[in-house]
């Protein structure tokens, strides 16, 4: 395969602030933001960049932590899903054009000159979770079904290349959150009034499990999950954000973090930026933001309710933005204890967005 070519599609401006470095990327016509992922200590974004005639290209953009950018255009492919191989090389699953079938291939984003076009597979609808041993792990839960089991995709690597894709149906209970650390895959799901904590191996086979009788009935995300150490589970009820702490002896306690009074609508998989430190982004009726935690400590909570920008409710610090209504597209780690947040403006039905905003921030 041939390597992707560099392309100039953005007008870029960089603004350095006390809160971090803000990069504004403006395209000529329209941008459809997709996702981002770590690229070493940088950020790799995928976006559709539209022309005047509404044709578009899949464009990869690398943002350095000093705010500078380089972009590359995909030769043939849409519907990108970014992931990392076990050796932390950047990969993407894309769907090349075919008038008859919608099938995907999984290839490295860069350095393709020594590989052939791989076998096409049915696309897997799900999220990249992380890597375990020689596998890249994806997970999908059908939130609209009460009966369908969760699915796992384990992409097996050998000698640095993809060997096989394993599609797995997980045993019930369904609608799990999934957590990977130290080559261990953990699942957490509600089962009536209890939570079920399971550890599985890369092909879905059960290693061990326990039943947890929590203080909270509902949880949002796993911040850490272990049989040997304390586990930290992010909870929220009526705008009161807290942690369910589960000891190795299966004893539960609550740590209250902060009250924002506005209940969550949604949260996304936490992003690890250093040992025990995670960022979780959220939305609610009035805005969005992100939470940074380290074990039982709340480090940051940035929220854009009523602010022209984002206010850290822990310290009062404000990240001023030129746009009031921003959507958070993604968050990813860059350097140790540093991260990037990708935003785009919320536009009216008759308007088209042509701007991305990237915040590079480091926790001191």
69 DSSP assignment = E
Distance CA 344, CA 38 (A): 19
Q: Is 153 helix (H, G, I), strand (E, B) or coil?
A: strand
pLDDT category, 323, cuts 50, 70, 90? confident
Q: How far apart are CA 286 and CA 127, in angstroms?
A: 26
pLDDT score, position 212: 98
Q: Which residues make beta-bridge pairs with 194?
A: 191
Q: Which residue has the tokens 């936490």?
A: 270
Least confident of 208-222, 261-275, 341-355: 341-355
pLDDT of residue 308: 77
Q: Given a cut of 80, is residue 350 above it in pLDDT?
A: no
Look at residue 292 in the predicted model and tell me its pLDDT. Answer: 98
**Average pLDDT of the chain?**
95
pLDDT above 90: percentage of residues in the chain? 91
Which residues, at least 6 apart from 138, have a Cβ–Cβ distance to it below 8 Å? 81, 83, 124, 126, 127, 128, 129, 152, 153, 154, 155
The answer to whether the beta carbons of residues 43 and 332 sit under 8 Å apart is: yes
Q: What's the pLDDT at 34?
A: 95
Give the model confidence (pLDDT) of 101-119 as tens digits: 999 999 999 999 988 899 9
Strand pairing category for 271-274 and 42-50: unpaired
- The CA distance from 132 to 200, in Å, is 11
Q: Which residues, listed in sequence order, are joined to residue 242 by a DSSP beta bridge?
A: 235, 256
Residue 305: per-residue pLDDT: 85
The dihedrals phi and psi of 349, each to the nearest 5 degrees, come to -55, -35
Model pLDDT for residues 238-280, shown as the tens digit of each residue: 999 999 999 999 999 999 999 999 999 999 999 999 999 999 9
Instruction: Spell out the residues 6+ positions from residue 307 whose beta carbon is closer than 8 angstroms to its own.
Output: 318
Contact of 315 with 333, CB cutoff 8 Å: no
**DSSP summary character for residue 283:** E
List pLDDT tens digits, range 194-206. Answer: 999 999 999 999 9
pLDDT for res 195: 98
3-state secondary structure of 224: strand
CA–CA separation, 258 vs 279, rounded Å? 15
| Residues in a beta bridge with 271 | 279
Structure tokens at 9: 């599609």
Dihedral sign for Cα 56, 58, 62, 67, please: positive
Cis-peptide, bond into residue 173, ω within 30° of zero: yes
Using alpha carbons, list the distances in angstroms from residue 320 to 41, 347, 355: 25, 19, 17
Mean pLDDT to the nearest integer, 70-76: 96
H/E run at residue 355 = strand 355-362
Residue 184 tokens read as 């261990």
Structure-token pair, residue 295: 């074990």
Q: Can you give the pLDDT at residue 307?
A: 72
């Amino acid at each position: 395969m041939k390597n992707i070519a560099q392309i100039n599609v953005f007008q870029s401006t960089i603004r350095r602030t006390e809160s971090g470095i803000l990069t504004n990327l403006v395209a000529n016509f329209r941008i459809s933001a997709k996702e981002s992922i770590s690229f070493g200590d940088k950020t790799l974004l995928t976006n559709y960049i539209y022309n005047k005639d509404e044709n578009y290209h899949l464009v990869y953009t690398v943002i350095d932590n000093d705010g500078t950018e380089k972009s590359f255009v995909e030769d043939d492919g849409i519907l990108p899903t970014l992931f990392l191989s076990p050796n932390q090389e950047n990969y993407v699953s894309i769907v090349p054009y075919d008038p008859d079938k919608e099938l995907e291939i999984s290839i490295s984003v860069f350095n393709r000159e020594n590989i052939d076009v791989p076998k096409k597979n049915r696309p897997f609808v799900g999220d990249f979770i992380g890597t375990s041993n020689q596998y890249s792990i994806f997970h999908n839960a059908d939130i609209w079904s009460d009966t369908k089991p969760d699915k796992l995709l384990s992409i097996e690597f050998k000698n640095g290349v993809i060997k096989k894709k394993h599609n797995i149906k997980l045993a019930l209970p369904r609608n799990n959150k999934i957590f990977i650390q130290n080559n261990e895959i953990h699942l957490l799901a509600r089962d009536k009034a209890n939570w079920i904590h399971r550890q599985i191996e890369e092909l879905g086979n059960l290693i061990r499990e326990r039943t947890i009788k929590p203080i909270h009935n509902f949880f949002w995300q796993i911040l850490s999950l272990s049989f040997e150490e304390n586990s930290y589970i992010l909870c929220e009820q009526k705008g009161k954000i807290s942690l369910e702490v589960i000891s190795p002896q299966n004893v539960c306690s609550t740590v209250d973090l902060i009250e924002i009074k506005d209940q969550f609508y949604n949260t996304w998989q936490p992003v690890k930026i250093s040992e025990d430190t995670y960022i979780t982004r959220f939305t609610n009726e009035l805005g969005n933001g992100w939470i940074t935690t380290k074990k039982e400590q709340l480090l940051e909570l940035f929220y854009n309710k009523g602010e022209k920008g984002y206010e850290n409710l822990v310290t009062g610090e404000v990240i001023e933005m030129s746009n009031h209504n921003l959507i958070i597209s993604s968050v990813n780690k860059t350097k140790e204890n540093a991260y990037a947040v990708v935003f785009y403006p919320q536009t009216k039905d008759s308007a088209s967005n042509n701007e991305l905003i990237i915040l590079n921030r480091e926790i001191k």
